[in-house]
């Protein structure tokens, strides 16, 4: 095995990046529903900002943002689905920026139960300065955004998970930026990389497909027969790939899918609300467990890394991959905080920042 460990950003040192794309942050959409609404330059600007926050907080001792861009502001955290990483990241991000996070769980408010989403959006947005919402159907997040008077950030819905993919991109930059020291910026680091997705056709897969090709990362998408990628996602992926000469390929055989991969990614095979389908899904995903043997048989690139948004189950990836030097899953999880800080600062903070 090559010396992968030394190319991964560790907890005792981190790189910084020049703010090449900071100007792009001045023209962001009001809301963050999906990264398909953002340009590659805007996404790169958010990654640069997140990397800067991480470096200052972890390696320069900046415990709080000195300008407190969210001072006096409240972010409503609407969570219809439970979470670990998203909740911790959002509450600590608000605190770092000087704001207040108001957690509103499914048992705390009447979201879509005794009150319509439209009414809830109007009421809640009249009392907070931003909404960070983790919901079920995609229509829930778009309805909140439509009727909210303040910015709405998608913390997860059935079709998208933009803050997760921002964290993934920050992690990819941290790893491959150190391997490509002559790259001129984040997008230059991404250009030419290949990511293999081996798993369910779910919201993470959709967000990867509609984001990474336009940032220069080719995607090998692999899911079993009966778990198709929607046509609109395929179209967005193809359009993004045309702008960067990245490739988007589709597979049902994981061994074929990991060929030439720099990054191998999977996720849960059974998402929240699909528990009744578990037995059938386990059968359908037979052969999809990410392993060293899969990467070797498929001829993944020598220094491939493994990513997973967590929580992980044993059938999805072997222990000798998940806990190996190839795995950046805990770095990836931590980066949820830094990219959430960057997103809150850009969309909800003082515009002078």
Catalytic annotation, residues: 309
Q: Give backbone dihedrals phi and psi of 123, rounded to 5 degrees, phi first.
A: -70, -55
Give the residue among 183, 175, 197, 331 at the shortest CA–CA distance from 258: 197
Beta-strand runs (E) in 44-171: 74-79, 100-105, 130-134, 152-156
Give the residue among 330, 351, 309, 336 at the shortest CA–CA distance from 93: 336
For tokens 């997140």, what's the residue?
50
CA 118, chain centre distance (Å):
27
Written as one string, the DSSP assignment of 296-315 is HHHT--TT-EEEE-S---TT
For residues 103 and 78, what is the distance between their CA atoms, to the nearest angstrom?
7
Which tokens sit at 246?
A: 């990245």
CA 42, chain centre distance (Å):
15
Give the residue among 41, 92, 36 at the shortest CA–CA distance from 63: 92
Give the residue among 269, 162, 165 at the shortest CA–CA distance from 226: 269
């Amino acid at each position: 095995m090559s010396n992968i460990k030394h190319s991964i950003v560790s907890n005792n040192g981190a790189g910084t990046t020049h703010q090449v794309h900071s100007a792009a942050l001045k023209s962001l959409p009001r809301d963050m529903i999906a990264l398909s609404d953002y340009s590659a330059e805007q996404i790169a600007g958010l990654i640069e900002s997140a990397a800067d926050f991480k470096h200052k907080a972890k390696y320069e001792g900046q415990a709080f943002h000195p300008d407190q861009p969210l001072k006096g502001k409240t972010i409503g955290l609407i969570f219809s689905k439970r979470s670990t990483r998203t909740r911790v990241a959002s509450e600590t991000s608000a605190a770092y920026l000087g704001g207040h996070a108001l957690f509103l769980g499914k048992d705390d408010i009447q979201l879509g139960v005794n009150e319509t989403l439209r009414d809830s959006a109007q009421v809640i947005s009249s009392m907070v300065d931003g909404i960070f919402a983790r919901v079920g159907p995609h229509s829930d997040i778009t309805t909140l955004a439509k009727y909210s008077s303040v910015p709405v950030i998608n913390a997860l819905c059935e079709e998208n998970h933009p803050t997760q993919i921002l964290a993934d991109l920050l992690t990819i930059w941290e790893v491959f930026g150190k391997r490509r020291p002559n790259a001129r910026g984040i997008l230059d680091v991404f250009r030419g990389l290949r990511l293999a997705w081996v798993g369910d056709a779910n919201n993470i897969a959709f967000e990867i497909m509609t984001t990474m090709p336009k940032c220069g990362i080719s995607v090998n998408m692999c899911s079993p027969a009966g778990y198709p990628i929607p046509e609109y996602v395929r179209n967005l992926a193809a359009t993004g790939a045309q702008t960067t000469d990245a490739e988007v390929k589709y597979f049902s055989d994981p061994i074929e899918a990991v060929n030439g991969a720099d990054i191998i990614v999977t996720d849960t095979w059974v998402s929240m609300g699909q528990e009744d389908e578990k037995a059938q899904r386990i059968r359908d995903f037979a052969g999809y467990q990410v392993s060293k043997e899969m990467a070797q048989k498929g001829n993944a690139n020598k220094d491939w890394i493994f990513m997973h948004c967590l929580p992980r189950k044993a059938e999805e990836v072997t222990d000798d991959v998940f806990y190996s030097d190839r795995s950046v899953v805990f770095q990836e999880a931590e980066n949820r905080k830094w990219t959430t800080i960057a997103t809150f600062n850009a969309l909800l903070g003082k515009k002078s920042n």
